[in-house]
Amino acid sequence: MKLLVTGGAGFIGSNFIHYMLGTHPDVQIVNMDALTYAGNLENLAAVSGDARYTFVKGDIAEAAEVDEIFAAHSFDAVLNFAAESHVDRSLHHGAAAFIRANVLGTQLLLDAARERGVPRFVQISTDEVYGSLGPEGAFSESTPVAPNNPYAATKAGADFLALAAHRSHGLDVVITRCSNNYGPYQFPEKLIPLMIGNALEDKPLPVYGDGLHVRDWLYVEDHCSAIDAVLQRGRTGEVYNIGGMNDVPNLHVVKTLLQSLGKPESLIQFVKDRPGHDRRYAMDATRMRDELGWSPRYTFEEGLKRTVDWYLANGEWLARVRSGVYESYYERMYAGR
Ligand code: NAD
Ligand code: TYD
């Protein structure tokens, strides 16, 4: 089986490549990644010599680069992880890059997959397309899509384009919508690695608003096994919700991290809220369980422990990623907040 993985140098894509090479001896993977600020080939150093793995630097929003890669390989499936992925950047640093990568990039991949007759296209989407929940209930696949920030809106746009390619042209498309991931190689602009990095340096931990916003956390390896199940057995034209069944307020996550790092709660600093901040996400993953037999392997406590241990053991990775450009990003995002 030969797979095109886009965005494979990012957080989830790199974990997926490790997972697939580790569990499928006969798989071949071509990783197409533009290496934006979030793409890091260090995440794939351990597999760079594996004959089953090839890296191609390329931009999914450049038609010529997409055509070139589809002309050079005959893929059995495309898995589109490539995206601009950080909500705060989409709110404060301009949404145009999100429209380009997430919407235009997805359409160019869909077109190429159709022209070349690729048998399966898996679009990696997010629970954020559903918008925000009240105090009760969970998102199901039939919940109306109602995104509240530019990142979520572009991911919703990509989902609609993927479904349109299926309905209009018969392309075999499957969409996964997952809740918040955490684990190794996550870029430290996202909640969990940002808080670990700050706590280790005894810097304030910036919690938005009252800290009672709820996210449903899933350990990244469980997301990878879910995508594998959808790739192999998902029904064409369907959406699959993936979740951890661990909906907890941000403050709980931050306090748990401080405890496991032996740092004081006095490091917590409440800062100005994110505009349009979704109050609560929770996923109903019944379809994944009943149809595909998938369930998460790790509890939140186990996953968080593995994550903290990984960041402690990979201090150099974290220090390198947090230096340079990240420092000026952090300054711009949090100054005066
Ligand atoms: P990430 O920001 O860590 O990685 C994104 C990767 O895509 C980077 O390697 C980057 O270089 C690459 N990329 C960006 N634009 C590109 C382009 N135009 N062409 C080629 N490569 C490009 O993101 P992530 O957290 O790993 O998320 C991966 C996917 O999973 C995204 O589609 C995201 O929407 C989705 N998702 C993420 C989460 C989460 O909690 N992180 C949850 C659900 C779904
Ligand atoms: P994030 O990791 O950015 O993921 P998403 O916005 O996709 O859910 O944020 C997770 C939650 O943590 C979200 O409710 C915003 C909050 N948050 C903070 O309170 N402080 C921070 O510095 C960051 C980055 C996020």
- Annotated active-site residue 127? The verdict is yes
State the chain's mean pLDDT as an integer: 97
> Out of 33, 84, 111, 127, which one is annotated catalytic?
127
Average pLDDT of the residues in 120-125 = 99
- What's residue 337's pLDDT? 78
Taking the CA of 100 as reference, the closest ligand is: 1
Q: Which of 189, 190, 253 most suits a substitution to test ligand 2, by most atoms within 8 Å of the C-beta?
A: 190
> What is the set of domains in the chain, with CATH numbers?
2-182+220-244+282-299+327-334 (3.40.50.720)
Q: Is 290 a catalytic residue?
A: no
Query: 62 vs 40, 101, 318, CA distance in Å?
Result: 20, 9, 31
Measure Cα distances from 253 to 160, 247, 312 in Å: 33, 10, 17
Is residue 151 annotated as part of the catalytic site, yes or no? yes
**Residue 156 structure tokens:** 């919703």
> Which pTM value belongs to this model?
0.98
pLDDT score for 52: 98
Nearest protein CA to atom 29 of ligand 1, as residue: 81
- Which atom from ligand 1 is nearest to the alpha carbon of 105? 18
87 lines ligand 2 (CB under 6 A): yes
Query: What confidence category does residue 330 fall into, taking pLDDT thresholds of 50, 70 and 90?
Result: confident
Over the stretch 283-320, which tens digit does the pLDDT of each residue have? 999 999 999 999 999 999 999 999 999 999 999 999 99
Q: Whose CA is nearest to atom 12 of ligand 1?
A: 7
Residues 155-181 have pLDDT tens digits of 999 999 999 999 999 999 999 999 999
Question: Could you say which of 151, 182, 185, 330 is catalytic?
Answer: 151
pLDDT for 25-41, tens place per residue? 999 999 999 999 999 99
Q: Per residue in 51-110, pLDDT tens?
A: 999 999 999 999 999 999 999 999 999 999 999 999 999 999 999 999 999 999 999 999
Per-residue model confidence (pLDDT) at position 161: 98
Of 162, 181, 155, nearest to 236 (Cα)? 162
